[in-house]
A and B are shown apart, each in its own frame.
Chain A
Amino acid sequence: MANLVKVKINGQEFEAEKGTLLIEAARQNGIEIPAFCYYEGYSLQAACRMCLVEVEGTPKLQVGCTLPVDVNRDGSPMVVHTESETVKSARKGTLELLLTNHPLDCPVCDKGGECELQDMVFKYGAGESRYSETKVHTPEKQWSPVVFFDAPRCILCYRCVRACNEGMGVGALGIGNRGVIAEIIPNKHDHLECDECGSCIDICPVGALTSGTYRYQTRPWEMNHVGTVCTHCGDGCKTTLGVRDGEIMRGNNRDRSGINDEFLCVKGRYAFDFVNHPDRLQSPMLKNASGGHDPISWSQALDMVAKKFSEVKARNGKFGIIGSNHTTNEENYFLQKFARQGLGTKNIDHHRTGDLATLFDALSGKNDTLASVGDLYTAKAVLVVGNDLSQQHPLLANQIRANFRHHAAHIYTVTTGEVREDKQSIAKVRVKQGGELAGVESLREQLKAEASLVILFGDSVQGDSLRKLVAFGDSLGIPVKYIGLVDYSNSRGAFDMGIIPRDGGLSREQMLAATDLDVLWVVGANPLKSATLASNAFVVVSEMFMTETAKRADLILPAASAYEKSGTVTNVTGEVQKLKPAAKVMGTKTDLEIAGSIAKEMGLNLGIWLPDKMLEEIRSTVHGYNVPMPILSTGGAAPTQPLNGRVAALPGTIASSGDTLFTSGTLGRYSKMLNSVMEAPGALYGGNK
């Protein structure tokens, strides 16, 4: 750190960089200066007056959140008191004013127990009020299925306004009127049209903004908080699920425990409700004569699968296995081991949404060429090619916005339509699908002048054009890192664990088209949604819901969701994180347990199939996955090492699912909250403005 100056806070001398805000300098040294409106990462508001401090030599109290640390004119350090009697009485006065119209309905308020205003009044007093006037009251408003607003509780700290404007880049909230009738207003007069991300609700220090799913459901202290990884898109946000009696009540990341800090989109915060959807499959089902399904017991089902698999294996029949984008690394690893060692088949694939094989191959022999989520926040320049990030990769979009806000990063976009990043970009290029490379080429001179670059690209850049993109990156003469965008929570893991038709195996499409397939085993995927099965294969499906594929199945095995199991997942940038079980749905088993049980029934020896044992095996055998356990087990994101070797091309097609901010494949169809917002199902490229 350059230019350190001394500052004396509450009698202790500290060093801080000149110009640091006093509130930050104090926090860095473990001294909390209370504030409602000040929020790290957002613009300064200086509206709440809670952070007043006494600075010696200054007659009046100073606002700690806007006061830069500096030495006095005579060179002596600034002397600050943050908890003197004068300061305490000023804060008490501020609180008394804030409580003038704030209803004391804490016993029924969602925020009760974790309310910052409550905590401050508890600390500084203002238990009695000198105001006897009737409180101004206005009725509560509903702005969307997700967001409710109770104006009297609002203390006008502007946190939500800034979070929406600066953080999300949406700007759906503002302040209407002034004085005592001033209140937060939504962008569409009586309702919101926005990302429905709920960050306004999370950031609200009081109970003014409340969430449609969580309101009046429980008290905060009745829940256990389980930090796990969101199962919707590939960004790998940590979501802390509030669980009461085995039921998920809410999702947030207030504890800033993940790579996403506090960020979550509508899916991470609200779309956990598929877990308890009444259509969840809770018993194995066998196809009956009329084409429907009848429930059978797990032991009957496992026995039946094992017999069928053994019989087909014995006569050298043809297996096809389609794995999932959502299951854990451990499950994926075990599944491919099951396929290759247990069944002796190479026909294993999953719905690939990005061309990772070509990317890794093109990057082989190069070091430090894969960007992490963190890199997007620090990169000097970012180039987005062929993807609507704010719809498909909300966390990555958020990182880029924050990078622009805090570091004035240079953003370039080459897309087929309008994207939110355009607003921050220094150059935007509109291209037709397939014209991405020409668009990128047109930015050559500008990009060459950058110190370093991160390139993100979607599924429209694959195969040859991806090789050309990497060659373009090489030709710039600056350090370039890449993010190959893949859609789902463990798309990257499915690829890395080997759920791919390498060494001559059949691709997903080839399996479906093969007329001589004997067994099709589908784990957490829905290939028959958009394709038909050419053969009369015996179909085994492990699924959460009665999907198009499950309907065709001869045997359905009810699977647990990611929120109900342990294991690890790898996000789009190759960072591995641990899942923690939050809920339990009766009758279901994890895919690891299902595959393990089938192996046991078949008498196969595929090793111990506990998640921890499986992870040990992955760490010692899968290239790049020797990740540090301390990071993983403390809930961190452990970066995988790049493959750095040649990767053979794979058969089959690669296509993004085209999911938006408001859709999430099969899971999205069963999330009531996700489907209830009026923006759903959303649209890519400028669809949600």
Chain B
Amino acid sequence: MTFSPQLEERFAKMLQAYPEGKKRSAVVPMLIYAQDETGAVTPELIEEVAKRCEVTPLQVDEVVGYYSMLHRKPQGKFHVQVCTSISCMLVGGTELYDQACKKLGVGHKQTTADGVFSLEEVECMGACSWAPCVEVNYDYHHNVSPEKFDALIDGLRKAQ
């Protein structure tokens, strides 16, 4: 499996960042950056990361199963994550999530038919001061009201 030259460069640097014999430490960052480029953690990617980090594919599989940010199936172009942990819940996070389901027509960990949006109900993202919080890919959106959410989605749809 090959990646873009930029990613390859990043991986090469990454593997040198850990002490001798500890390549295993690179499993998580390698997976997440590779996922950004390839769209999902496929069995081929697991094999590849295992080879590069000198662990068994099973050991990579364990990591993939553990971290909810690693996805085995491709996400939408915009991965919408709505927080429903306590701070967000208190100021309408749960309602916001329900609205997201309706607006996008999909549920938790599902992707729209056109592949543009995917939705995920997530735990605390550490933005409690600006609750409720929504994260789209790596961008945070704070104090998201129902109107603001609709506008956000419509804007993204136009922009794509």
Residues of chain A touching chain B, judged by Cβ–Cβ distance below 8 Å, are 171-178, 185, 187
Check B66–A185 contact: CB distance below 8 A: no
- Choose from A175, A178, A187 the contact partner of B56 (Cβ within 8 Å): A187
The yes or no answer to B57 lying at the interface (CB within 8 A) is: yes
Query: In the assembled complex, how far is the CB of residue B94 from the closest CB belonging to chain A, in whole angstroms?
Result: 21
B-side contacts of A174, CB under 8 Å:
58-59, 61-62
**How many interface residues does B have (CB within 8 Å)?**
8
* Apart from A174-B59, A174-B62, A175-B65: 16 A-B pairs, beta carbons within 8 A: A171-B58, A172-B58, A175-B62, A176-B61, A176-B62, A176-B65, A177-B65, A177-B66, A178-B65, A178-B66, A185-B58, A185-B61, A185-B62, A185-B65, A187-B56, A187-B58
Q: Which B residue sits closest to A689, measured CB to CB?
A: B56
Residues of chain B touching chain A, judged by Cβ–Cβ distance below 8 Å, are 56-59, 61-62, 65-66
Cα(A174)–Cα(B61), bound, Å: 8
Q: Which of B57, B59, B61, B62 has the most CB of A within 10 A?
A: B62
Cα(A178)–Cα(B123), bound, Å: 15
A-side contacts of B57, CB under 8 Å:
187
Cα(A171)–Cα(B54), bound, Å: 13
Q: Which A residue sits closest to B55, measured CB to CB?
A: A171
- B interface majority secondary structure: helix
A-side contacts of B58, CB under 8 Å:
171-174, 185, 187
26 sample A-B contacts, Cβ–Cβ < 8 Å, listed by A number: A171-B56, A171-B58, A171-B59, A172-B58, A173-B58, A174-B58, A174-B59, A174-B61, A174-B62, A175-B62, A175-B65, A175-B66, A176-B61, A176-B62, A176-B65, A177-B65, A177-B66, A178-B65, A178-B66, A185-B58, A185-B61, A185-B62, A185-B65, A187-B56, A187-B57, A187-B58
Cα(A393)–Cα(B126), bound, Å: 55
Query: In the assembled complex, how far is the CB of residue B21 from the closest CB belonging to chain A, in whole angstroms?
Result: 12
Cα(A177)–Cα(B56), bound, Å: 17
Cα(A77)–Cα(B87), bound, Å: 47
Q: Which A residue sits closest to B59, measured CB to CB?
A: A174
Query: In the assembled complex, how far is the CB of residue B140 from the closest CB belonging to chain A, in whole angstroms?
Result: 25
Q: Which of B58, B59, B65 has the most CB of A within 10 A?
A: B58
The 5 closest A-B pairs by CB, nearest first: A176-B65, A174-B62, A174-B58, A187-B58, A177-B65
Query: In the assembled complex, how far is the CB of residue A350 from the closest CB belonging to chain B, in whole angstroms?
Result: 42
Cα(A185)–Cα(B66), bound, Å: 12
Cα(A171)–Cα(B58), bound, Å: 8
Cα(A278)–Cα(B57), bound, Å: 42
Q: Which B residue sits closest to A177, measured CB to CB?
A: B65
Cα(A176)–Cα(B59), bound, Å: 10
Cα(A227)–Cα(B74), bound, Å: 55
B-side contacts of A172, CB under 8 Å:
58
Cα(A637)–Cα(B61), bound, Å: 43
Cα(A115)–Cα(B56), bound, Å: 31
A-side contacts of B66, CB under 8 Å:
175, 177-178
Cα(A173)–Cα(B58), bound, Å: 7
B-side contacts of A171, CB under 8 Å:
56, 58-59
Cα(A173)–Cα(B57), bound, Å: 11
Query: In the assembled complex, how far is the CB of residue B131 from the closest CB belonging to chain A, in whole angstroms?
Result: 24
Query: In the assembled complex, how far is the CB of residue A173 from the closest CB belonging to chain B, in whole angstroms?
Result: 8
Query: In the assembled complex, how far is the CB of residue A514 from the closest CB belonging to chain B, in whole angstroms?
Result: 54
B-side contacts of A177, CB under 8 Å:
65-66
Q: Which of A174, A175, A176, A177 has the most CB of B within 10 A?
A: A174
Query: In the assembled complex, how far is the CB of residue B54 from the closest CB belonging to chain A, in whole angstroms?
Result: 10
A-side contacts of B62, CB under 8 Å:
174-176, 185
Query: In the assembled complex, how far is the CB of residue A200 from the closest CB belonging to chain B, in whole angstroms?
Result: 14
